[in-house]
Amino acid sequence: MARPRINGPQRAANDPNYPDDCRQALEPHFQSLLMAAARAGWAPAEITRALLVMAADSYYAHAPEDDPLAFRIASERETGAVKAPLG
């Protein structure tokens, strides 16, 4: 099975349009993931919740080490004190 192609950045990371370009590159694949999960039988709200949790985990995993919020959330996740951003 062929892997989907995601376009790479065409601008410098400090360009104000860089985040929008990233979203546009990911959007079709994101929609495909949502549809595949729904076809598999998952409820739309649960799909969205799971993706939000994974996105938050990824965001905080890549946050600067001196970010106090990222550190607190990572610590609470390790101890099980935080289950999900929405819950």
Give the CA distances from residue 62 to residues 22, 33, 66, in Å, rounded to whole numbers and listed in that order: 16, 23, 11
* Structural tokens at position 52: 């939000």
How far is the C-alpha of 21 from the C-alpha of 42, rounded, in Å? 29
Q: Which residue type is seen at 1?
A: M
Q: How does pLDDT run along the chain (87 residues), one tens digit per residue?
A: 566 688 899 999 899 999 999 999 999 999 999 999 999 999 999 999 999 999 988 887 777 666 666 667 667 777 766 555 544
Provide the phi-psi class of 80: left if phi over 0, else alpha when psi is between -120 and 50, else beta: left
* Structural tokens at position 43: 């409820």
